[in-house]
């Protein structure tokens, strides 16, 4: 994709969280916390079951930015605050808008919600070059 990056440009993306995603991510990251891999433990601590690792959710967002920008090397910075758990079977929706251009860099404001409109990440910003 050859995206023209200009102020006001927008994009959206979504990622379905399959029932194995937390296990795949645990294997790749080493994050085997029981809240991510043991449904009974997740229920016992009040989470309703397994929740996805926050950094996996942020990874979905980073991928949406790099897909939109057309090159993974264009992503220079990303930040967020983890706000709500993502459950297996959820959909992670990302809506981005270029809010500032400074030289060769563009700053994006991103809204990240689940399928019910709950913000799972807040204060999400990215910079692309």
Told to judge if 8 belongs to the known catalytic residues of this protein, a careful annotator would answer: no
Angle between helices 54-69 and 21-29 (to 10 degrees): 90
Which candidate in 54, 59, 78, 96 is catalytic?
A: 54
CA angle 73, 77, 80 (to 5 degrees): 135
Backbone torsion region of residue 17, taken as left when φ is above 0, otherwise alpha when ψ lies between -120 and 50, otherwise beta: beta
Told to judge if 54 belongs to the known catalytic residues of this protein, a careful annotator would answer: yes
Which candidate in 31, 38, 49, 101 is catalytic?
A: 31
Which candidate in 42, 51, 78, 96 is catalytic?
A: 51
Told to judge if 31 belongs to the known catalytic residues of this protein, a careful annotator would answer: yes
Told to judge if 51 belongs to the known catalytic residues of this protein, a careful annotator would answer: yes
Any idea which residues carry the catalytic annotation? 31, 36, 51, 54
């Amino acid at each position: 994709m050859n995206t023209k990056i200009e102020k006001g440009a927008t994009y959206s993306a979504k990622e379905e969280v399959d029932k194995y995603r937390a296990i795949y991510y645990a294997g790749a990251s080493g994050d085997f916390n029981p809240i991510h891999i043991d449904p009974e433990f997740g229920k016992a601590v009040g989470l309703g079951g397994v929740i996805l690792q926050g950094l996996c959710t942020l990874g979905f967002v980073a991928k949406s930015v790099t897909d939109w920008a057309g090159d993974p090397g264009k992503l220079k910075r990303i930040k967020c605050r983890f706000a709500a758990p993502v459950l297996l079977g959820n959909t992670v929706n990302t809506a981005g808008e270029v809010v500032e251009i400074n030289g060769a860099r563009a700053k994006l404001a991103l809204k990240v919600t689940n399928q019910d409109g709950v913000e799972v990440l807040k204060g999400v910003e990215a910079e692309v070059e």
